[in-house]
Amino acid sequence: MVIAYISGALTQTRDIHACLQLYEELGKLCEEYKIEAFVPHIKLGSGDFFRGRCNAPRSPSKIFLQESRAIQKSDIILVCLDDPSTGVGAELQLAIDNDLDIMAFHHRDIKISNYIRGMLEQYSKSKILAYENKDALFESLKPWLTHHSQK
């Protein structure tokens, strides 16, 4: 089964609840295509922390190791670039180092870092998608997910 890692900012976002919901919905969309979704805050138990319901469940070292292993075991990665994140940048580089197919996306009104854009443009197995709204994003992802579900 194909495994998709869902990457996106969590620590510094404009709206953490909207981000968590988007990542969870992306995971469900992947599963509709028979792609196993690895949504870090769900799989590793930090969702309640980000929703303000408990203390941090893991140390930074454990987060790094567990999420790095999850990326290394994945086949594809979906990356939300709507909020700047050093963690997302590190996950992108790890995805490239492990030869994953990358679908990066951002809202059309958000300018992403030139460094990240350049990184993605130089990597032949990546696509960058600018979307207008969540429905349009999900529609745009469907052909890419269909392609990967048939591998």
For residue 29, give its domain range. Answer: 3-149
CA 86, 2, 138, 63 dihedral sign is negative
- Kindly state the average pLDDT of the residues 63-77: 94
How many structural domains compose the chain? Answer: 1
Digit-coded pLDDT (tens) for 2-60: 999 999 998 888 888 899 999 999 999 999 999 999 998 877 765 444 545 545 566 77
Q: What is the pLDDT of residues 56-67, one digit of tens each?
A: 566 778 888 989
Confidence of residue 104 (pLDDT cuts 50, 70, 90): very high
Of 22, 13, 139, 27, nearest to 76 by C-alpha is 27
Assign residue 47 the CATH number of its domain.
3.40.50.450
